Amino acid sequence: MPVTIKDIKTILTQPAGSKLVIVKIITSDDGLYGLGCATFTQRFEAVHAAIEHHLKPFLIGRDVDRIEEIWQMSAVNSYWRNGPVLNNAISGVDQALWDIKGKRAGMPVYQLLGGKCREGAAVYGHAGGDTPEAVVDSIRGFEEEGYRYIRCQMGGYGGKASNLAKPEGAPDGAYYHRKEYMMNHLRMFEHIRSELGFEVELCHDIHERLQPIEAVGFAKDMEQFKLFFLEDALAPEDNDWFKNIREQCSTPLAMGELFNHPHEWRPLIEGRLIDFMRMHVSQMGGITPARNVAAFGNMYGVRTAWHGPGDTSPVGHAANLHLDLWAPNFGIQEWCRFNELVYDMFPGLPEVRNGYLYPSEGAGLGIDIDEELAAKYPCSNEVIQWTQTRLPDGSPARP
């Protein structure tokens, strides 16, 4: 007799800055359940509604073993597809089903994918500061903790513009100046390399804040600093410009955290126009599509670098890690360093030791949630401020 989906529960919690969405699938086998990440922190209420009002009634009673069929049918049951709300909702279900599959097999999920290619996943942390000197100090702090890969930003995404001449009546917003950002960060990386040399691996995130022709020039200027990768040089709408960057320089490129649709990542991988795929695993629909894309990228020499900020839940980080341990073309894993409260709330959350991320080795995803503790930290709805970005004249701009 098959084990079926008896109930689906959506858990909303905010133990730190990000609003997390966790899906719990309860099965017909008493005591057996699975957890998945459906976190879209800026639109968590919409994902919650999609799960509770649409996916839940669609999935109750289905066989938990049929992960592929459930993913395919969930993706097309709404007819319109490949949007962030629906993909994240499907991801929560998909990851929870993989968790259940592993628990039933008595194995970690990476064993179901094909087994380990490595014992731990190398991670990078986020160094920052308002001056080049402060960024160097931040990098040294990470190095003391054993990190060998470090992302460097000065003044946040796009920097903090200091020489703005706004027009009268300019609205409030997160202002930045593209040229000032580029000049400041070139000086920052020159200072970092002069102080720390070239042994430490450095990354940088443009966060799609440049015009395409500016991104081409900036990537070329950054070539001298030998980055591990330059992230989000272009917005998804400007993917065709990656060819121009490739023709100009050898700076390694990472892209994908905003991607929802296979037609966004497929041409970049097939054309070898990027070096690292950066998709947000819940944004693309969960472990099932991420597994397929990792295998696809391996044929073209494109490595994984799954998105791993604080708005990927601990369950999502566990899913990332199982993919990391298995994928032959693993590159690096972003890590956000959760606080003690989050570790208490999510027993089995992976841990970093000497720059490597290790799983708990429990069956399934190896992670659980303390629902009573999670309930003490409800999500607060608010208007997002940091994505209200503007250019010096007040024009809306990409975050």
Say what angle helices 67-76 and 84-105 make with each other, to 10 degrees.
Answer: 170
pLDDT of residue 163: 77
Is the pTM here over 0.85, yes or no?
Answer: yes
DSSP-derived secondary structure for 95-140: HHHHHHHHHHHTSBHHHHHT--S-SSEEEEEEEEESSHHHHHHHHH
Q: What is the mean pLDDT of each run of 10 residues along the chain (399 residues)?
A: 97 96 98 98 96 97 98 96 96 98 98 98 97 98 98 88 84 91 97 97 97 98 98 97 97 97 97 98 98 98 97 97 98 96 98 97 96 97 90 89
Name 379's Cβ contacts closer than 8 Å, sequence gap at least 6. 12, 13, 14, 19, 20, 44
pLDDT of residue 161: 76
157 classed as catalytic: yes
pLDDT of residue 398: 86
Q: Are 175 and 167 in contact (CB under 8 A)?
A: no
- Percentage helix, strand, coil for the chain under 3-state DSSP, each rounded to 5: 40, 20, 40
pLDDT of residue 267: 97
Q: Are 125 and 142 in contact (CB under 8 A)?
A: yes
Q: How many helices (H) and strands (E) does the chain have?
A: 14, 15
Distance (Å, whole) CA 256 – CA 294: 13
By residue count, the chain amounts to 399
From the list 126, 177, 204, 207, the catalytic residue is 207
From the list 54, 157, 191, 343, the catalytic residue is 157
Residue spans per domain, the chain: 5-107, 112-364
Tokens 């990409």, located at residue = 398
pLDDT of residue 19: 97
Chain CA centroid to CA 279, Å: 6
207 classed as catalytic: yes
pLDDT of residue 165: 86
pLDDT of residue 74: 97
CATH number 3.30.30.60 given to 112-364: no
pLDDT of residue 399: 84
Show the beta-strand stretches assigned E in 14-104: 20-27, 33-37
CATH label, 5-107, candidates 3.30.390.10, 3.40.50.2300, 3.40.50.300, 3.40.50.620:
3.30.390.10
In what helix (H) or strand (E) does residue 153 lie, and over which residues does it extend? Answer: strand 149-154
Both tokens of residue 181?
């950002």
243: helix, strand or coil: helix
Closest CA to 123 of 380, 359, 389, 293: 359
pLDDT of residue 230: 98
